[in-house]
Structure 1
């Protein structure tokens, strides 16, 4: 069955919905805001009702704009955000603890003697970024009632009544055995979650239930895929050797590794890219920059910028950072350092330092972290990356993307598709609707909107990277 599909990307600061037609492209689109609360002690929470409301609002408006029925729906989710809820009524029992939240650091510290075992089992290092520590924290401090899951399982239940999570999202919990692609009894035991009833781990494409909340005929939910893997799929990175980076609230670099998990020593996360019926499991390496657009928002809140759209104008008011170095560890440092205790630092300031220098230093700081991820991926893959495909709101900044190309010393290909995560969810939905389709059949492809080539030489890039790395070593 062909026809348009509804694709929903439930993200950290917004939910985007697209109605995607295989012949005509995007025929309906809408965005609904999400407002997480940033609290003292590194806590980040959001009202679950706001997550669901944003899905229903954006979905309904995208469908209204399209003006025609859809044949299926796909849902992408923000991965490591968790909550407890009543499996009978679907009522939330806690707020949702967002992936950026650091409150479970103490639980990770307790489990430090088991860090190597958990890494071998799940492919993930001990860090409160992942879902399992937050789940354990909820059970210790908030409630023993109901079930505790990632937000996708709750959203899927509220939309269809199903109790499922896709294999890629499950691989981001630190509770999934990466080799069997099923829940690990040992990991559940270590986190004190052995008595829990986790959702069924399903393929990213299939028949998961029907959505009636949008009115009209029921819409089958046939695609479920965590956000970064959805973006990887939309970029067409379906074979080993290529990588993409999404610049949103954070920045996330993923590299496809084939049909076997790679547990390298570089500090990158090894996880499921997707699992498809009859085609097995694909894996990827994943590296994270916790603060990208959120760091731009921080400068905006301080009055340095009037908003994200001012990034280039302010940054180009000066030729360089003027010796200012910014380590934007505003939520700690993720891969390859895994230093949740790190704090953001600004060094090299003088009386002549102005807004433009801070913006240039921020662009250097974000780009230098992505370079560290690309270098780590190359080490684990045994070969350097040839280029980097990029997407996300911050790719509108030509200054940041040029900085990325300069420091990476590789071409940076900016996607012509503005909403790759939603498009990946659409691709998964189409595969679930028609299993005879191939990955190439459902990926839009096409040339990049623009390509940034390096404009400085390798020696200059290394000098700037060395300054950043020295600042990271001093950050605490």
Structure 2
């Protein structure tokens, strides 16, 4: 039995680190905040040095609390955040463009005629959310020097000197051949990136290199994109299951087995993970603003923070006729209209903060319901249950609203840090090749289960109202 491992989840608003023992559970935790800059025009960027410093700070805190040496480290990453950097020195050459950044819309517009070809090759729609458009934009507008990669490749290089990315993260670029899990020459050519030196695509578990950034030398043996780490931790390892993580955005992933499912319902087909050279796939749908929409409501002074969702929302029996489409960073799947802005309709002099909170919760839950229904269409059968994790699952109001609109049970994970626990399991697998996935994963059980409390007819009526407002946004176009 291996000793404790260090699991690091480098996310959009901060880095969480856990020291995990397979027998005694979590021995230490650490967190360090990250502060992306939200600029006019949909630009979101962050200092790469802040990302790296947050990894070291969070890990140091977790190790100090655990007071035990670790045998391996695993790193989960944001997925589509990119930067240019010098491979000789490790020095960043640009800020990191965060996954929410929209500045590469011009790159996508030029490739409209190749959108279907790119989707067939890579499983991804043409959208600046993904890494390749941002990489091409950096090359056109910022620098031709160094290499341009997703943030994980830079972090791993800083930690170990290796130049790699895992198959799941590579699958978020729109440069990976989905069927072969190798870089696609055609996609690279379309983006004008054929001459780039790209990182080696590796499995999500296995020796990558050794780091001394956390004190003594520790092998890095787990590497994966954040949402796939959470899918693994939720034990959704066979077709038919799905999970949704409610973080900065909300992300629903449904396992599809060992062949990619290129659906027609607006979801992304991507790599779930590659273990021992064997690739598993999933369908993926995104809501760009979840906790970030709650922060927006907080910044306006309507609430004091996410902990206010339930008491303030509980002050009103319903949304009072208010409908909130919280597309504050655009509409993602299944519409893929990142150029649109959100809408708040049905306001009156009697509208209260409680109505606004309920409308926000309903808007987030309605978008997730759209994703679940799209997944069911592509899979050919409805999802039996939705497993959920992330900070916003602490809101009973949001979770009950989700169960009501979905008309399915919502199982809230008892694991508060599913992403870190998932990559911790991969770190263990990377050091113990004989271990099975089931043996490496933490035990899963829900902390609570929310059952629908409204009729199917009422749920359909509430969803219809939300869809009318989305249709109005689509008709009106960007403003």
TM-score by length of 1: 0.99
Q: Are residues 1:79 and 2:73 paired?
A: no
Partner-residue secondary structure (3-state), 1:220: strand
Asked if the contact 1:94/1:142 (under 8 Å) is kept, the reply is yes
Q: Which residue of 2 aligns with 1:229?
A: 228
CA displacement, residues 4-48 of structure 1 (integer Å, 9 cap, x when unaligned): 000000000010000000000000001100000000000000000
Asked if the contact 2:235/2:444 (under 8 Å) is kept, the reply is no
Asked if the contact 1:409/1:461 (under 8 Å) is kept, the reply is yes
Q: Which residue of 2 aligns with 1:414?
A: 412
Q: C-alpha distance in 2, partners of 1:129/1:324?
A: 29
Q: Which residue of 1 aligns with 2:113?
A: 113
Q: Which residue of 1 aligns with 2:454?
A: 456
Stretches of structure 1 that go unaligned for 5 or more consecutive residues are none
Residue 446 of structure 1 and its aligned partner are, at CA, apart by 2.7
Partner-residue secondary structure (3-state), 1:449: strand
Q: Which residue of 1 aligns with 2:150?
A: 150
Q: C-alpha distance in 1, partners of 2:160/2:10?
A: 16
1:116-265 matches, within 5 Å, as 116-216=116-216, 218-265=217-264
CA displacement, residues 242-276 of structure 1 (integer Å, 9 cap, x when unaligned): 00000000000000000000001001000000001
1:29-48 matches, within 5 Å, as 29-48=29-48
Residue 447 of structure 1 and its aligned partner are, at CA, apart by 1.7
TM-score by length of 2: 0.98
CA displacement, residues 137-179 of structure 1 (integer Å, 9 cap, x when unaligned): 0000000000000000000000000000000000000000001
Q: Which residue of 1 aligns with 2:286?
A: 288
Asked if the contact 1:261/1:284 (under 8 Å) is kept, the reply is yes
Asked if the contact 2:234/2:444 (under 8 Å) is kept, the reply is no
Q: Which residue of 1 aligns with 2:389?
A: 391
Partner-residue secondary structure (3-state), 2:208: coil
Moved over 2 A (4+): none
Q: Are residues 1:272 and 2:271 paired?
A: yes
Partner-residue secondary structure (3-state), 1:255: strand
Q: C-alpha distance in 1, partners of 2:273/2:350?
A: 50
Q: Which residue of 2 aligns with 1:345?
A: 343
Residue 355 of structure 1 and its aligned partner are, at CA, apart by 0.6
Q: Are residues 1:326 and 2:297 paired?
A: no
Residue 435 of structure 1 and its aligned partner are, at CA, apart by 1.1
Residue 213 of structure 1 and its aligned partner are, at CA, apart by 1.0
Q: Which residue of 2 aligns with 1:405?
A: 403
Q: C-alpha distance in 1, partners of 2:390/2:197?
A: 35
Q: C-alpha distance in 1, partners of 2:287/2:307?
A: 21
Q: C-alpha distance in 2, partners of 1:87/1:402?
A: 48
Q: C-alpha distance in 2, partners of 1:101/1:74?
A: 26
Aligned residues: 474
Residue 443 of structure 1 and its aligned partner are, at CA, apart by 1.1
Q: C-alpha distance in 2, partners of 1:443/1:37?
A: 35
Residue 74 of structure 1 and its aligned partner are, at CA, apart by 0.2
Stretches of structure 2 that go unaligned for 5 or more consecutive residues are none
